[in-house]
Structure 1
Amino acid sequence: MKTYLVGGAVRDKLLGRKVNDHDWVVVGATVQNMLDQGFEQVGSDFPVFLHPNTKEEYALARTERKSGKGYTGFEVLSDTSVTLEQDLLRRDLTINAMAMGEEQQLIDPYGGQQDLAAKRLKHVSPAFAEDPLRVLRVARFAARYFQYGFSVATETMLLMKNMVAEGELEHLVAERVWKETARALMEPNPEVFFAVLRECGALKVWFAELDPLWGIPNPAKWHPEIDTGVHTMMVLQQCAKSSDKLSIRYAALVHDFGKALTAPDKWPSHHGHEKLGLEAVLALSKRLKAPNECTELGLLMCEFHSHIHRAFALKPATLLNVMNRCDAWRKPQRFADLLTTCRADARGRTGFEDTPYQQADYVHRAYMAANQVDVQSILATGVKGKEIKLCLDQKRIESIAKVKNELKLD
Structure 2
Amino acid sequence: MQSPNLTTPDADQIRRAPKVLLHDHLDGGLRPATIVELAADCGYENLPETDPDRLGTWFRDAADSGSLERYLETFSHTCAVMQTRDALFRVAAECAEDLAADGVVYAEVRYAPEQHLEGGLTLEEVVRAVNEGFREGERRALDAGHRIRVGALLTAMRHAARSLEIAELANTHRDDGVVGFDIAGAEAGFPPTRHLDAFEYLKRENNHFTIHAGEAFGLPSIWQALQWCGADRLGHGVRIIDDITVDEDGSVTLGRLAAYVRDKRIPLELCPTSNLQTGAAASYAEHPIGLLRRLHFRATVNTDNRLMSGTSMSREFEHLVKTFHYTLDDMQWFTVNAMKSAFIPFDERLAMINEVIKPGYAALKSEWLFRGAPAVTSSDGAFEA
TM-score by length of 2: 0.30
TM-score by length of 1: 0.29
Q: Give the greater-gyration-radius structure (CA).
A: 1
Q: Greater strand percent: which structure?
A: 2
